[in-house]
Amino acid sequence: MITATLAMLLAGSAPEQTTLPRHPDPDPVQQQATRAGTPTDPLFDRAMVATDDSSFILAAVENSRQGLAEARTARELIQQRPLREAAAQIGEINSKTTRDLEALAKRKGWRLPQGNSKRVSSLPATTEARINANFIIGQLAWHQATIDQFRAQIAGPGDADLKRTLRQALPAYETNRDLLLKLKP
């Protein structure tokens, strides 16, 4: 019985370009336009959009707290003065942004993420050159993602006080990103 079913399945022609749950893909990858350096995957090829304010606050505060932990670790591990100064500047900005977002959330009655006493940095402690390079690369990616998230939230239909807080914080993150682009590991 199983052999007959298997033979019938193998004999039939499979639908072209199927995806789960077995329907044709309306825009197969082979037919999508390609752009140099830009992914064509629709999950990664969309601009960030604003989310509801309380969800944004949860994510932004958590990200800012992690950014602060990363900066603290970098100040402890990095030996080069320009990189240490950049880590200190990044830490100050993340600390201020965290305070501002937490204060706003409390005024609005929005939930804040729980504290994480065991928060650790993702900056691996290896050779000095590797730590320096990892710091710059990680912080560039983190700053660009933060800038994109802030801009998307500012452009959305959300709370005016939140938008004002993000507009005030945004230039410092852009300045840090530009500084990171100039640093040498």
pLDDT of residue 104: 95
pLDDT: is 85 or 15 the higher one?
A: 85
Condensed to tens digits (0 to 9), the pLDDT of residues 133-153 reads: 888 988 999 999 999 999 999
pLDDT: is 116 or 107 the higher one?
A: 107
Residue 137 near residue 129 (C-beta atoms within 8 A) = no
**CA-CA distance, 133 to 73, in Å (whole number)?**
14
pLDDT of residue 4: 57
171 has a pLDDT exceeding 90: yes
pTM of the model: 0.73
**CA-CA distance, 132 to 183, in Å (whole number)?**
10
CA 131 to chain CA mean position, Å: 20
Mean pLDDT of the chain: 81
Q: What average pLDDT does range 109-129 have in this prediction?
A: 81
List the domains of the chain with CATH numbers: 53-111+124-182 (1.20.1260.10)
Written as one letter, the residue type at 82 is P
Q: What average pLDDT does range 82-107 have in this prediction?
A: 93
Q: How confident is the model at residue 20 (pLDDT cuts 50, 70, 90)?
A: very low
User: Which residues, at least 6 apart from 163, have a Cβ–Cβ distance to it below 8 Å?
Assistant: 153, 154
pLDDT of residue 18: 45
Q: How confident is the model at residue 39 (pLDDT cuts 50, 70, 90)?
A: low
